[in-house]
Each structure stands twice: as structure tokens, then as C-alpha cells.
Amino acid sequence: MLGRTIAGRYIVRDCLGAGSMGTVYRAHQLPMGREVAFKILHREHAVNAESKARFLREAQATSSLFSEHTVTVYDFGESDSGELFLAMEALEGESLGARLKRIGAFRPSEAVSVALQVLSSLAEAHQKGIIHRDLKPDNLFFSRTRDGSNREIVKVLDFGIAKVLHDEHQRLSPIETAAGTVFGTPRYMSPEQAQGRQLDTRSDLYSLGVMLYHMLVGHPPYTDDDAIVVMAHHIKTAPTSPSDLGVSLSESLERVLMQALEKSPSARPSTATVFAERLLAAANDPDAPLSGARRLAPHSHGSFPPVSSAAATKLQNRRSIFVAAGVALGIAAAVGGAAALSASKTPTIQLVPARPIEAVPPAPTPSVINFPDEPTLESNAAPKEHAPLAPARKSDRLAKPSRNASTQPPTVPSSPRPAAPTSSPKKPTYERFE
């Protein structure tokens, strides 16, 4: 297909990917001069009446949707050589499936944001009688806007097996509506879809609930490799709640999630709009804020900085310890200062001989006041500066050192004595103590 011109106006450039229904190429649209994503149905499907009808229905359904969160379809048709094609807007980014493999579980706020954008697309489709029937991570795409804001938004792709519920102008053939036909991806399909029953819009809401569960927990509720076993679980087995798996979520968010995963469609949110309103209420609940820890996939690096509730708690505990230690030191300094001031009036100095440290019972603490060594005043050297308790003139402190400063051992200086009166009695001088 590379280098070929389809329908006289699309030049196929390169291959972007392939799926079960067709292959997606990058193509240049000649009349418009723009790059498009060009989907061509596989030839083995093009000769099948059911697949051809389903492909054309995808084009018709998707081209009638204009939500910002739905991929835009520019053109569709059949080439002269029989290829069925679909021209869509070209997107740059990655699928939800690729991102989940890369970063693991999302933060709750991120998961809710993705779900709300998907619900915006589904609300419009459901109002027009269209259900997707194949919602899965690979059909949700993170793309950048081109309006200058460079925002990242979620686009819903591939309405390839979408079903038009009400078509007043054209009735579907019996082969297209045969009862018991199962479409979709087993890990994300609804219980009624797994049983081949008649579907309505609430089937899409269940599939979105499974993806929301995957984003919050890090894996779908049912992960068996056997598709039949997975479908049986969707039909009969209640999913394990995130809280039972050790994932911390607000009660309101977990309640909305588990409602979307109810087996009976009547127990789920009735519409995409109702689902979105409940998610918004859970996200904005002041009494139960969104919380939780991201779980990174092994050997992966996330695009968002990981948030761990355990790490946050550890950091908070460290801060609390530092604050408590600072307060304790402040109190100890204040008490020690008061005790020293009181003891300085009637000092009692007791010399304790040095002895090796050994594990002995603590003895009663004697009333001992330790004073810092007074520096020698050789070569007019200034003493070590300390913050005085009260203003004192430097000249007084240098002229009136302690009387016994030079005779007492350096480790136990003499007791402080009141400074001799000076010519300025209004400014008394105090000796330094600690």
C-alpha cells in the first residue's frame, strides 16, 4: 500500500499500526494538503458482507460525532479497487494501554480525569443512539490539542463495532443483528455482552468502569489468560474492591466505581451524564478527598512523578520529630538558663574527678554550674563573643574579668561575681553565664 494513491486523493505514506479489522497508515490528502490517519479494511474482511457493513457503520456513526473527545472522521468510502477506507485526524501521543504498561496505576485524580473525558464522548454518542461496544485501553488515546494551548486530552477511537440503536432510514440486515453474536474484548466487556444479550448504553458504562478500576488498581478486575474464564467472571464473580487490595481511595470514589461494575445494568448509573456527575461529586467531596498511591509497573518510568502515601507519611513523621526536638531544646535552654541565674546568686561548686564511663545506676545530679572558659587577654585579644542576656559595654567586660579567672583550673572556672561599680551606674555590667 505504501506509495499508492487511494480514491484519487490519498497518498499512502507509512504504516502506523494494524488491528483485527484493518491497518492504519499515515496518508497525505491531496485536495486539503493535510496529513490524515488512513484506515484500510483487511481484504479478507472486505469480501465479507458482515465486516463490510460493520466497517461502513463505523464510518457513518463516527462521522456524526463532534465531541472534542471523539476522533474526527474526515472521509470514508470504497476505492476503485475495492478497498474500504476511513480518513481520520492524525493524532500524536500514546494509547491508554501503552501508558498503563509504562507507568502502572494512575493517581485517583488522573484516573477520574480520563474517565470524565471518555464520558463526555459517550454522552454525545449515546444521545444519538450509538454504543461503542469495544471500549478498552487501546481505544483511548492521549493526544495534544492544536489550539495553541498544547493541552493533553483523551480521544475515543474505533467505533468499529458500534451499533446504531435507532435508524429510521435504514434497517440493518439480519446478519448484522444476529442474536448471540459476541463482540468486544473479554477483559473489558459487560456481563450482558459476554452472554450475547441485547445491549444498551449501560454496557459501555460497565466497560469504562473496568478501565477505571484498571487505572486505579493497576490491573483489571479479572486477569485470567483464558477468555472464557474471564467472561464467566464478568457474569458471576463480584470484583474485589480496591480497599481490600490495599489501594487507598476515598469511600465516595470507591462507591461510584463499584456501582459501575454491578452485574445488573439497572444497578449501574443510568446514563453517561449521571456517571460523570457522581464522579465529580466524589472528586469534590471535602470530607473524603481523593487519595491513594501510584503503583509503578516493574522496570518502568512514569510520566507523572510517583506519589506514595507511605512516603508522605514518613516525611510528615520526620517533620514532626524535628519540630518536637526544636521545641524540647528551646524549653531545656529556658529552664537551664533560669536555673543558672538562680544558682549564680549562691553558687555551689563541686569538683567531680574524672572517671571512665561505665554502665552504673544514675546518681542524683549535684548542683553544679559549668561556666565557659574565659579567654586569656594576651596581645589584647578579644574574648569569644556570646549573645549577652542584657546589653553590656565591651570595655567593662574587658576591664573587669573574673577575679579568679587566671587561678582556677580551666575546666571549672570560678563562680561569677557582681561587676564593680563604674562611673555609669545606670548601665550595670553582668558576667557571661551559660
Residue 325 inside a domain? The answer is no
Residues forming the active site: 134
Nearest to 397 by CA among 386, 408, 411: 386
Instruction: Look at residues 50, 74, 89 and tell me which one is the last residue of a structural domain.
Output: 89
| Residue at a domain's end among 25, 60, 89 | 89
Residues 6+ apart with CB under 8 A from 17: 23, 24
**Residue 22 β-bridge partners:** 41
pLDDT of residue 164: 64
Q: Which three cell numbers stand for residue 130?
A: 450509538
Dihedral, 291, 297, 301, 302 alpha carbons, nearest 10: -30
Same domain, 129 and 227: yes
* Domain presence at residue 399: no
- Kindly state whether residues 118 and 39 are assigned to the same domain: no
- The last residue of one of the domains, among 26, 55, 89, is 89
176 pLDDT above the threshold of 50: no
* Better pLDDT: 166 or 198: 198
Q: Do 27 and 145 share a domain, yes or no?
A: no
Q: Do residues 36 and 27 touch, judged by C-beta distance below 8 A? A: yes
Write the pLDDT tens digit of every residue in 236-271.
999 999 999 999 899 999 999 999 999 999 999 999
The burial of 315, by beta-carbon neighbours within 10 Å (0-12 exposed, 13-18 middle, 19 or more buried), is given as exposed
Mean pLDDT estimate for the chain: 74
345: pLDDT confidence band, cut at 50, 70 and 90?
A: very low
Mean predicted confidence (pLDDT) in 345-355: 46
The verdict on residue 148 lying in a domain is yes
Q: What is the pLDDT of residue 18?
A: 82
pLDDT of residue 49: 75
∠327-329-331 over CA atoms, to 5°?
A: 70
> Are 115 and 136 within one domain?
yes
Give the pLDDT score at 104.
Answer: 92
Q: Are 217 and 105 in contact (CB under 8 A)?
A: yes
What percent of the chain clears pLDDT 70, i.e. is strictly above it? 58
pLDDT reading at 22 higher than 60: yes
Model confidence, pTM: 0.63
The pLDDT score that the predictor gives to residue 405 is 46
Distance (Å, rounded) from C-alpha 255 to C-alpha 282? 9
Find the mean pLDDT for residues 137-162: 86
User: Is the same domain home to 281 and 213?
Assistant: yes
Stronger pLDDT, 124 or 301, i.e. the higher one: 124
Question: What's residue 335's pLDDT?
Answer: 55
In a domain, 150, yes or no: yes
The residue with greater pLDDT, 234 or 172, is 234
Beta strands 84-89; 93-95: pairing state: unpaired
**Type of residue found at 25:** Y
**What one-letter code names the amino acid at 51?**
S
Please tell me the distance from the alpha carbon of residue 113 to that of residue 251, in angstroms, as a whole number.
Answer: 18
Q: What is the spatial distance between Cα 323 and Cα 317, in angstroms, rounded to a whole number?
A: 10
List C-alpha distances in Å: 5 to 11, 13, 38, 84, 335.
4, 10, 12, 13, 90
Residues 65 and 100 occupy one common structural domain: no
* Residue 25 and residue 127 in one domain: no
Of the given ranges (51-60, 189-198, 280-289, 377-386), which has the lowest mean pLDDT? 377-386
- The 10s digit of each residue's pLDDT in 182-241 is 666 899 999 999 999 999 999 999 999 999 999 999 999 999 989 999 999 999 999 999
245 and 266 share a domain?
Answer: yes
Instruction: Indicate the angle between helix axes 272-283 and 108-127, nearest 10 degrees.
Output: 160
Top-confidence range, 9-18, 258-267, 280-289: 258-267
pLDDT score for 328: 60
**Containing structural domain, residue 83:** 8-89
* CB neighbour class for 72 (10 Å; exposed up to 12, middle 13-18, buried from 19): middle
In a domain, residue 356? The reply is no
Does residue 29 have a pLDDT over 70?
yes
- Let me know if residue 141 belongs to a domain: yes
Average pLDDT over residues 286-306: 41
Over residues 374-389, the pLDDT tens digits come to: 444 444 444 445 445 5
Q: Which three cell numbers stand for residue 41?
A: 479494511
- What pLDDT score was predicted for residue 325? 58
Q: Find the mean pLDDT for residues 138-145.
A: 92
Mean pLDDT of the region 369-378: 46
Query: C-alpha angle with apex 278: 275 to 282, nearest 5 degrees?
Result: 140
Nearest CA to 416 out of 401, 394, 428, 427 is that of 401
Based on the domain organization, do 206 and 75 belong to the same domain? no
**Same domain membership, residue 245 and residue 148:** yes
Percent of the chain with pLDDT over 90: 40
Number of domains in the chain: 2
Is position 353 within any domain? Answer: no
Residue 348 has pLDDT above 60, yes or no: no
Q: Are residues 149 and 223 in the same domain?
A: yes
| CATH number for the domain harbouring residue 231 | 1.10.510.10
pLDDT for position 59: 81
The CATH code of the domain that includes 68 is 3.30.200.20
Cβ–Cβ under 8 Å, residues 138 and 332: no
Q: Tell me whether residue 357 is in a domain.
A: no
- Note whether 16 and 34 are same-domain residues: yes
C-alpha cell at 333: 535552654
